[in-house]
């Protein structure tokens, strides 16, 4: 019962929201209207902070920008509100595009500081602008009219705001479940996943920044035409921090969290003010302190915010998306001819400070071949993978891929050329489903972007990408886990999902960093069969693995590394017989 209640809570809340103006007193209708406007603003922050992992202390300024653009056009030039909305959105997109182009590359606190500066400057800029009414404010803003009917009363504006809120939520949901959305959702854990699968992480971060600003501007537009009076105060730093609080408390990674957070924070603040005034007298301003204390307690109990907390406690597994049939991707890359050199590395070298992690390594790998790399911990195997896959730049050496030399190739380029990899430490987006994680691998096979997915023009492509992902999950034996959250899988299974994701990019060369670690014996056998099958299809595979039986039975050739250097290379039986190898590494095993 409770589970069903939580699961359907959003729909129930919306139904209640639609009916409540009919019973609530006018004052409360107005309060809920402002809560919903704040929720719209928070949805922008959910995209930027919760989903894409960038903190903003200047969100209220974008809300203000939207409000002032439309407010000015309405009050001074008499332009209709709907045209004001278009102008507000364009202005916010331009401003965020400009600011974002400079700041989004910055990491962590630098970006937060940059948004803080923007937020503060906006407040003073508006407050000192004659044209915008200085700190006294801008009056005479017209209401929104729909088909010639002006929305003036509290109840009328309530429905306007409710409709806009529902539209923004629907659009965000649509976006987040699309190809673009999957990449955005991978950004919170850093740019690595996006870049590894052919997406420009910087572009997507910028997109999240601009989208947050645009949604903020929509909230500002609503505010301007509901309140019909503007002053800089609701768009200052305090407001930005309030939005951040609302988003974080509600659950910054969740759309519904924005709603919950906006509601709770408004109510708590309001009630606190009344209560503390009653207890300590009208002049004390203790509410901020008490408020902060409440926030800290809440976040201690529910680190990811209240919505995920509730969901985890009460909800059953997420609803499966019905009707995704396994399918082969059309237009696949031709596999290299058997025996054709796919990758050749010459005298690769990489140092970290004084440490030579990879020292003069040369090797090649051919289509239809599995090359095993052995070596004790710290030998430089993962670093070698990072050099080949473009994740790290090399200090020296040459690489060529399918016959073309690579002077400087990023991870993104390498993915597009046909290299795909897994990581030693499974790097899945934990709060996305297994199927969606695999589909990230296929990102560069799709074409549909933000606009197509907003208008639902991406359905055919989505069916292909998800069907292809399902097919690969089937190949690694995890089709039945497709709709579970990746974070709920065992580590062994997460590795298999990573392999499916790597295969989703349709590679010609596959780099696997310890794929069998954490797998049970029977799972290892399944993996060995899969790798043998892939080899038969013509894939070139480079495999780092500690399980000797696994590597020796599977690999066509082996390369052994120690202290960054290559100490042996050859067929498994040759390597096993090599005395140097036995001394350096195999020791007990040999």
Q: Which of ligand ADP, Mg ion, none binds 428 (CB below 5-8 Å, type-dependent)?
A: none
Are 431 and 305 spatial neighbours (Cβ–Cβ below 8 Å)?
no
Ranges within 497-526 binding ligand ADP (CB under 6 A): none
Show the site string, 51-80: x = touches Mg ion by CB under 5 A, - = not.
Answer: ------------------------------
386 binds Mg ion (CB under 5 A): no
Specify the DSSP element, H or E, that contains 575: helix 572-577
Alpha helices in 401-490 (DSSP H): 411-417, 434-441, 450-454, 459-475
d(CA 376, CA 378): 6
d(CA 533, CA 536): 5
Are 531 and 476 spatial neighbours (Cβ–Cβ below 8 Å)?
no
Residue 390: left (phi > 0), alpha (psi -120 to 50), or beta?
left
The alpha carbon dihedral of 500, 501, 506, 507 has a sign of negative
Q: Where are the beta strands (DSSP E) in 320-466?
A: 341-352, 355-366, 369-374, 396-401, 404-405, 419-421
Q: Which of Mg ion, ligand ADP, none binds 464 (CB below 5-8 Å, type-dependent)?
A: none
Ranges within 296-325 binding Mg ion (CB under 5 A): none
382 binds Mg ion (CB under 5 A): yes
Of 251 and 380, the one with the shorter C-beta distance to ligand ADP is 380
The nearest distance, CB 211 to Mg ion, in angstroms, is: 37
Are 194 and 187 spatial neighbours (Cβ–Cβ below 8 Å)?
yes
CA 184 to the chain's CA centroid: 4
Q: Which of Mg ion, ligand ADP, none binds 357 (CB below 5-8 Å, type-dependent)?
A: ligand ADP
Q: Which of Mg ion, ligand ADP, none binds 106 (CB below 5-8 Å, type-dependent)?
A: none
Show the site string, 331-360: x = touches ligand ADP by CB under 6 A, - = not.
Answer: ---------------------x--x-x---
Of 372 and 380, the one with the shorter C-beta distance to ligand ADP is 380
The nearest distance, CB 382 to Mg ion, in angstroms, is: 3
Decide the pairing of beta strands 404-405 and 396-401: antiparallel
The nearest distance, CB 565 to ligand ADP, in angstroms, is: 12
Q: Identify which range of 75-83, 170-178, 378-386, 427-435 contacts Mg ion by CB under 5 A.
A: 378-386
List the end-to-end C-alpha distance of the chain, in Å, as a whole number: 61
Show the site string, 366-405: x = touches ligand ADP by CB under 6 A, - = not.
Answer: ---------x-xxxxxxx----------------------
Determine the size of the site formed for Mg ion (CB under 5 A).
3
Closest CA relative to residue 426, chosen from 488, 337, 359? 488
d(CA 523, CA 510): 19
Q: Which of ligand ADP, Mg ion, none binds 380 (CB below 5-8 Å, type-dependent)?
A: ligand ADP
Closest CA relative to residue 30, chosen from 157, 134, 129? 157
> Phi and psi (nearest 5°) for 231?
-135, 165
Q: Which of ligand ADP, Mg ion, none binds 391 (CB below 5-8 Å, type-dependent)?
A: none
Of 259 and 568, the one with the shorter C-beta distance to ligand ADP is 568
Of 352 and 451, the one with the shorter C-beta distance to ligand ADP is 352
Kindly list the residues in this chain that would bind ligand ADP in the complex (CB under 6 A).
Answer: 352, 355, 357, 375, 377-383
Kindly list the residues in this chain that would bind Mg ion in the complex (CB under 5 A).
Answer: 381-382, 424
């Amino acid at each position: 019962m409770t589970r069903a209640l939580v699961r359907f809570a959003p729909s129930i809340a919306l139904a209640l929201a639609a009916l409540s103006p009919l019973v609530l007193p006018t004052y409360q209708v107005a309060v809920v209207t402002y809560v919903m406007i704040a929720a719209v603003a928070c949805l922008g922050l959910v995209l930027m902070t919760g989903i894409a992992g960038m903190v903003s202390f200047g969100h209220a300024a974008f809300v203000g920008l939207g409000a002032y653009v439309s407010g000015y056009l309405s009050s001074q030039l008499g332009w209709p509100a709907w045209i004001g909305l278009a102008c507000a959105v364009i202005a916010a997109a331009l401003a965020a595009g400009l600011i974002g182009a400079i700041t989004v590359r910055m990491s962590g606190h630098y970006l937060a500081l940059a948004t803080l500066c923007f937020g503060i400057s906006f407040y003073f800029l508006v407050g000192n602008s004659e044209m915008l009414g200085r700190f006294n404010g801008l009056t005479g803003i017209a209401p929104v009219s729909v088909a010639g009917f002006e929305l003036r009363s509290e109840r009328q504006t309530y429905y306007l705001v409710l409709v806009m809120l529902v539209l923004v939520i629907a659009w965000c949901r649509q976006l987040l479940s699309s190809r673009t959305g999957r990449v955005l959702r991978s950004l919170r854990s850093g740019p690595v996943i996006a870049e590894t699968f052919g997406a420009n992480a910087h572009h997507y971060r910028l997109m999240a920044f601009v989208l947050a600003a645009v949604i903020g501007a929509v909230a500002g537009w609503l505010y301007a035409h509901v309140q019909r009076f503007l002053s800089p105060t609701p768009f200052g730093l305090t407001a930005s921090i309030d939005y951040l609080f609302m988003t974080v408390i509600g659950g910054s990674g969740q759309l519904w969290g924005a709603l919950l957070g906006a509601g709770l924070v408004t109510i708590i603040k309001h009630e606190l003010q009344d209560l503390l005034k009653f207890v300590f007298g009208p002049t004390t301003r203790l509410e901020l302190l008490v408020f902060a204390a409440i926030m800290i307690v809440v976040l201690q109990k529910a680190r990811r915010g209240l919505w995920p907390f509730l969901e985890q406690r009460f909800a059953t597994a997420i609803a499966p998306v019905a009707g995704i049939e396994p399918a082969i991707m059309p237009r696949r890359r031709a596999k290299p001819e058997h025996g054709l050199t796919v990758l050749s590395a010459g005298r690769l070298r990489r140092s970290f400070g004084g440490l030579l992690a990879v020292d003069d390594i040369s090797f090649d790998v051919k289509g239809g071949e599995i090359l095993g790399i052995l070596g004790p911990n710290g030998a430089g195997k993962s670093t070698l993978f990072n050099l080949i896959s473009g994740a790290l730049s090399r200090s020296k050496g040459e690489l060529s891929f399918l016959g073309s030399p690579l002077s400087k190739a990023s991870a993104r380029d390498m993915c597009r050329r046909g290299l795909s990899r897994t990581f030693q430490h499974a790097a899945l987006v934990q709060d996305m489903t297994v199927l969606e994680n695999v589909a990230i691998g296929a990102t560069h096979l799709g074409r549909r972007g933000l606009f197509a997915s907003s208008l639902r023009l991406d359905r055919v492509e989505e069916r292909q990408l998800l069907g292809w992902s399902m097919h690969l999950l089937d190949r690694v034996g995890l089709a039945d886990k497709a709709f579970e959250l990746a974070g709920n899988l065992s580590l062994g299974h997460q590795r298999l999902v990573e392999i499916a994701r790597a295969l989703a990019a349709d590679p010609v060369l596959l780099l696997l960093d310890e794929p069998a670690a954490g797998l049970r014996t029977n799972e290892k056998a399944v993996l060995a069969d899969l790798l043998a099958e892939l080899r038969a299809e013509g894939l070139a595979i480079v495999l780092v693995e500690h399980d000797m039986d696994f590597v020796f039975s599977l690999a066509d050739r082996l390369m052994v590394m120690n202290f960054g250097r290559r100490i042996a290379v050859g067929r498994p039986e040759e390597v096993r017989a090599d005395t140097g190898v036995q001394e350096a590494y195999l020791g007990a095993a040999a």
